[in-house]
Amino acid sequence: MQRRFFAEPPETVAPMLLGKLLARCTPAGWLAGRIVEVEAYLGPHITDTPDPAAHSFRGVTPRNSVMFGPPGHVYVYFIYGMYYCVNVTCEPEGKAGAILVRALEPVLGLEAMAINRGLSANTSPAKLTGGPGRLCQALSITRPEHNGLDFLDSASPLQLRQDEWLPGPIEVTPRIGIRHAADLPLRFALADNSCVSRIRSV
């Protein structure tokens, strides 16, 4: 994947991320899942469609500074005092678009993912990575370790990769679990995929 792939508005990049692989290098080997659900969050430079649900809405802070940097980087935040969520930065530097990865379909390292989630080895894939908090637990993604990394760096322990797999139909809906700008159709998911998260998933 090339840097220019990410240097577009989040609502453009988000559906194109579906079917790509999110890969995590651990001491025990690689874990990977196919992206099946994402949400786009618009940068503060968008004035005709304000997005107060975006972490960048009020400008640069120490917490969100990665969002204002180069595209194709990792932005991780912490919610509910319990869960990490991983995002992909997009737009040219300074514009702070981002895409939340909401769900993966596990493809490599399912046993390790189950251990990371504290679940049995025969747990369904949806319970492993069907939600933004779940997938970060399954892949052991944290803010201290991964925030600010470059997804395109071959030495990075967290990478986005592309293979020959082609996604099927895509459904577009409003985003899940937010109060602001909740009507914007910025959630993209592979239709009928069993790992797509539900409203109560984290």
Confidence at residue 197, expressed as pLDDT on a 0 to 100 scale = 81
Tell me the pLDDT tens digit for each residue of 110-142: 999 999 999 999 999 999 999 999 999 999 999
Confidence at residue 199, expressed as pLDDT on a 0 to 100 scale = 55
Tokens standing for 180? 């602001």
Q: What are phi and psi of 159, to 5 degrees?
A: -135, 155
Tokens standing for 13? 């990049």
- Number of C-alpha atoms within 13 angstroms, CB side, residue 131? 17
* pLDDT band, very low/low/confident/very high, at 201 (cuts 50, 70, 90): very low
Q: Mean pLDDT, to the nearest integer, of 23-33? A: 95
Tell me the pLDDT tens digit for each residue of 79-109: 988 899 999 999 999 999 999 999 999 999 9
Confidence at residue 75, expressed as pLDDT on a 0 to 100 scale = 98
Q: Mean pLDDT, to the nearest integer, of 18-47? A: 95
Tell me the pLDDT tens digit for each residue of 37-84: 999 999 999 888 889 999 999 999 999 999 999 999 999 999 988 899
Non-local CB neighbours of 15 within 8 Å, separated by 6+ positions: 38, 170, 172, 188
Q: Where are the domains of the chain?
A: 3-190
> CA 25 to CA 154: how far, in whole Å?
11
Confidence at residue 46, expressed as pLDDT on a 0 to 100 scale = 87
DSSP bridge pairs for 76: 86
Confidence at residue 48, expressed as pLDDT on a 0 to 100 scale = 87
> CA 100 to CA 41: how far, in whole Å?
8
Confidence at residue 4, expressed as pLDDT on a 0 to 100 scale = 96
In this predicted model, which residue has the larger pLDDT, 93 or 197? 93
**Considering only the top CATH level, what class is 3-190?**
alpha beta
| pLDDT value at 202 more than 50 | no
- Decide: 148 and 6 in contact? Cβ < 8 Å: no
| pLDDT value at 30 more than 90 | yes
Confidence at residue 66, expressed as pLDDT on a 0 to 100 scale = 98
Label residues 41-62 b or e (16+ Cβ within 10 Å = b): bbbbebeeeebebbbbbeeeee
Tell me the pLDDT tens digit for each residue of 137-186: 999 999 999 999 999 999 999 999 999 999 999 999 999 989 999 999 99
